[in-house]
Amino acid sequence: MELHTLKEKEMSLLSRKRVTLMIDNDGATPSRLELLKAVAKKFNVSQDLVVIKHIYPQFGRKKSKLIVHIYDDKEKLKIFELKNLLAKHKEKPKEAPAQ
C-alpha cells in the first residue's frame, strides 16, 4: 500500500492540516484502521490526531482517494469533528463465538 500526497493545506485557525492522498492498494480498499496507521506513519504523528474524512474508491482501478485531517492537538479534534465519525476510527470489540 503506497500513499501519494496530492494536496496539503494548512488551516491554522482550526489547528489542523487538510491532506488529499491517493493510495495504491492491492485488491480491496484497506480498512479505515489500516489507512489511519499508514497516514500517521507517513506524516510522523500520533494516530489519535488523524481523522479520515472521506474514502473515494476509484471504480475499475486499484486506487482510492483519501481526504484526511491532521490536528495539532486532541482538544481541537474533539471540538471540530463529529462523534459518529470519530467512532469509526476505533477498533470494534471482538464478539464471543456463538454456541
Q: What is the pLDDT of residues 34-46, one digit of tens each?
A: 888 999 999 999 9
Domain range for 54: 2-87
Residue 94 in any domain: the answer is no
Q: What is the pLDDT of residues 6-42, one digit of tens each?
A: 999 998 888 889 999 999 888 788 888 888 899 999 9
For residue 9 the three cell numbers come to: 493545506
Residue 99 in any domain: the answer is no
For residue 55 the three cell numbers come to: 474514502
Per-residue pLDDT, 92: 66
Q: Provide the number of structural domains found in the chain.
A: 1
User: Which residues on neighbouring strands pair with residue 24, listed in sequence order?
Assistant: 2, 63
CATH code of the domain in which 69 resides: 3.30.70.330
Q: Please report where in the chains the cell 485531517 appears, as a residue.
A: 69
Q: pTM (2 decimals)?
A: 0.80
